Amino acid sequence: MTENRPTTAEFNIETGKTIVREMTDSELEQWQADVAEMKAQADELDAKAAARSSALEKLAALGLSETEIAAL
């Protein structure tokens, strides 16, 4: 493995030793897929938050109070 890869740690409970090593190809692929999935989930949450904020601003522009908006 010539490239600089993320590392992973393995702890052996019987010996009490921790081994830190570079990720294997399959571990790296899974890690990259997990990172991409978490980014997609974060982007989705950001979009939902923006949509909610926009909707709340529109309701406030209609003259509804915070109490009335919360009741909806």
Q: In angstroms, what is the C-alpha Rg of the chain?
A: 23
pLDDT at 29: 96
- Residue 11, phi then psi, degrees to nearest 5: -110, 125
DSSP one-letter code for 14: T
pLDDT at 70: 85
* Segments of the chain with pLDDT less than 50: 1
